[in-house]
Amino acid sequence: MTLQTSIRLTLAGALIATVVGTSWALTRENDAAEHDPAPAAADAGFVPARFTSSKQCRECHQDVWDEWHGTQHQIAYENPEVRKLSNDFRTKECQACHLPKPVFQTGLAQRTLPRVTRPDEGVGCLSCHEGPDGRIVGRHTVDDAPCTPIAHTEFVTATQCETCHNQHGTTDQWRESPFFGKQDCADCHMPEIDRAGGRKGRSHVMPGGHDLATLKAAGRFELERGDDGAVVTRLTNVGAGHNYPTEERSRALDVLVRFLGDDGRPLAVAGFEHPEIVPEHMRELEDGWLCIYRYRSPYRDEPIPNTQLPSGESLAQTVTPPDGAARVEARLMYRRNPFAPDDHPEVLTIEERTLELR
């Protein structure tokens, strides 16, 4: 027997003795525990069971699950638009918000950090409801609920939302807006609703830039004739407590106009100087449409100014009608992808206005 073999056998023997002893001790401890009454949650030393999936929440909260399932939060990591823009999340910077660890654990008012598991859940129940110590947090402490949620003062506040939504400045925009101190994120995006059994709750649909009604409520779009005969379009951010649009890169809000003659045919507009923010290929579109303004924030080092419309503010564009113009039409279009053509599913027409010029 070599020295090495001898050492291995000695070590193995010692380990077997340790193992058998430990197993016996643990088995005994287990037997004893089975005869004890279950410890109360409030007992010192209670270790809360850890939740590992939103599917566990569904067992009691099917209604909330149904609201959340299919939303942008749930599909955050599988949304084809996002996967395309993030090169299938090889752009790692996107993963932290699209597949976040529980934000109470990674720190409120700080950027969240990424996880790997449960990719189908995206921003799931535990992303917002799993507390710092693994317990469930909510608006109220409920001792007799199976998940025994505890109230947290920062729950459903902007501080919680900003872990993801300030990446492109949305929460900071809100802090500078007239909404600050009056209404916060949840007031618009998670309104109070009545649930079965007379309970009050907050909607988990969380509508935003993918919802036409929300987009319409954000802005007031006007088309009018100025004193000098020019046509004026005006957009006022009346309903968003942040810029309109907010976020960056993939959001653009375009103002389009076209002039029609007596015969209903589009007329060419001469001499209109497009602002720099409108890309060359967008300036003159099909059927006589002109894109006269774009509200958008630059992405990375794009050499364009930030033209998003802050909350409460208004901006007008003026176009001189061509000779023979009988009517002007205007559109406000929202592009979730600024490079998408008008007929793309990621493009929504939010408002349409018509003004007779004769």
Partner 1 sequence: MTASNPARPSRPRGDAALRAAALTFAVALAACSPSDADATTDGEVQPTGTSAEPPSTAADARLPSVPSIEPVDALSVFAERAEHAPTPPDEARETTLRDLVETAFLPGYATPRLAGLARDELLAEDDATRALEQGLRHDDADVRIQCAWQLGQRADPTALPPLVARLRDEVDRRAQLWICDAMWRLGCDTGLEFLPGYFRYEDTANDAGRSAMERIRHAGLPLSEQPTWEELGAAIVEIHDHWRLTGRPLVGGPEGETPHGGETPTSEALYGRLAKMMLEFPREELRGVDIARAVLRSLGRVGLPLLRTGLRDRGDTVRVRFHTLEIVERLGPAAHDLGPEVLALVDDPICASLALRALGELGYAQALPHLLARLASEDPEIAVAAAAGLGGLRDARAIAPLRTVLDDAERSIDERVWTAASLALLVVPDDDDAPDPGLSFLEHLLETDGYHRPTLEELVDRTKRERRLASSRWRAPAPGPDESDEER
- Give the footprint of partner 1 on this chain (CB under 8 A): 7-8, 11-12, 15-16, 18-20, 22-23, 26-27, 29-30, 33, 48-53, 55-56, 59-60, 77-78, 83, 87-93, 96, 101, 105-107, 109-111, 113, 115-120, 146-147, 162, 166-169, 300-301, 303
- 119 or 201: CB nearest partner 1: 119
Neighbours of 249 (CB within 10 A): 15
Angstrom distance (rounded) from CA 106 to CA 208: 25
**Least gap, CB of 199 to partner 1 (angstroms):** 16
- 117 or 153: CB nearest partner 1: 117
**Least gap, CB of 57 to partner 1 (angstroms):** 8
**Least gap, CB of 92 to partner 1 (angstroms):** 7
Cα 339–341–342 angle (5° rounding)? 130
Angstrom distance (rounded) from CA 334 to CA 214: 12
- 262 or 276: CB nearest partner 1: 276
- 92 or 265: CB nearest partner 1: 92
**Least gap, CB of 60 to partner 1 (angstroms):** 5
Burial call 51-69: b when 16+ CB within 10 Å, e when fewer = beebeebbeebeebbebbb
- 23 or 318: CB nearest partner 1: 23
**Least gap, CB of 90 to partner 1 (angstroms):** 4
Identity of residue 243: N
- What sections of 244-299 are H helices per DSSP? 280-283
Sheet holding 231-237, edge to edge: 219-225, 231-237, 314-319
